[in-house]
Amino acid sequence: MKIYAHRGYSEKFPEGSKIAYLEAVKAGADGFECDVRLTKDREIVCFHDRSLRRIAGKGTVISRATLEEIREQTEILTLSELLDIAILHRKDLLIETKHPVASGGAIEKLVVDLLSRRASDIKNSGIEIIIMSFSYMAVWRLRRIYPLVGKVIAYRIGLLFNRTPVIAVNKDLILKSDLMRKSLNARRVLLWTVNERNKLRLLKAHPQFEIITDRIEVAREELQ
C-alpha cells in the first residue's frame, strides 16, 4: 500500500514547505502530494489556498502576486523545485491543479510542459507522476495531453459519472460502505486524507487502496 505525504509531512512541519517534503522522505513516504497554482508571473507554485491568509496572515492572492513578492511574505516551493526533490529521492508525485482560477486551463498546460521538459530525468528516476483535479473541465483537458490523470472526488455521485484511470476519493465515501469498496476493486483509488488510527487499521485489510496522509509515521506503523 503506497503512502503519500499530504503537502509533505504536514503533521509535524509547515505544509508545503521544503522541510516538510524532506522530512517525509526520512519518515518513509512512498510519494508526495501537492496542490499547484499560478503566480502573476506564471510560476507554478505548490500552494493549496487562494491567498496567504491562513498560512502567513496576509491577504495576498497567489494569482495577483509574483513569486518574488510571495517569497517576501512566506516560504513557498515551485513545482520545479519539488520535482527536483522527488527525482533526487525517487518519490512518486501527485499534483492537484486548483480551480476555479482566472487563468483557466493555463495551469494544466504549464504543468504538462514542465513535466515534458523533465521527461528524461523523470524516466531515469523511475518515479510516477499523476496529475489530478476536482474540476471536470481540468480533467478533460488533461486527458487530451497527459497519460496519467486522476479525478478528485468528494461526493458519491462523482463516482457514478467518472471514468478516469485514477480517482482520489474522500476516505469516508469508502470507509462507510463495504459495497462501495468492492465496487472500486477494479480501479486505482487514492484515499484522502487518512490520519485517524482506527481508519488506517480498517484500511490495512484493503491493500489495493493508496493513502494520502499528514501522518506518515503513524500510517507506516498502522499499515505495516
| Predicted confidence (pLDDT) per residue in 122-160, tens digit | 999 999 999 999 999 999 999 999 999 999 998 888 887
Q: Name 92's Cβ contacts closer than 8 Å, sequence gap at least 6.
A: 2, 4, 30, 31, 32, 86, 127, 128, 129, 130
Q: What does the DSSP 8-state code read for residue 27?
A: H
| Predicted confidence (pLDDT) per residue in 14-37, tens digit | 999 999 999 999 999 999 999 999
**CA–CA dist 46, 23 (Å, integer):** 17
**CA–CA dist 171, 185 (Å, integer):** 15
List the domain boundaries for the chain. Answer: 3-223
Q: Name 69's Cβ contacts closer than 8 Å, sequence gap at least 6.
A: 40, 60
CATH number of 3-223: 3.20.20.190
Judge contact between 99 and 133, C-beta under 8 A: yes
* Residue 52 in grid coordinates: 496567504
Q: What's the whole-model pTM score? A: 0.97
DSSP-derived 3-state class of residue 205: coil
Closest to 5 in 3D by CA, of 211, 166, 150: 211
Residue 202's alpha-carbon distances to 32, 58, 159, 194, 215, in angstroms, are 23, 40, 21, 11, 16
| Predicted confidence (pLDDT) per residue in 35-67, tens digit | 999 999 999 999 999 999 999 999 999 999 999
In the predicted model, is pLDDT for residue 182 greater than 80?
no
Burial, 213: exposed, middle or buried (Cβ in 10 Å; 0-12, 13-18, 19+)?
A: buried
**Peptide bond preceding 14: is omega within 30 degrees of 0, i.e. cis?**
no
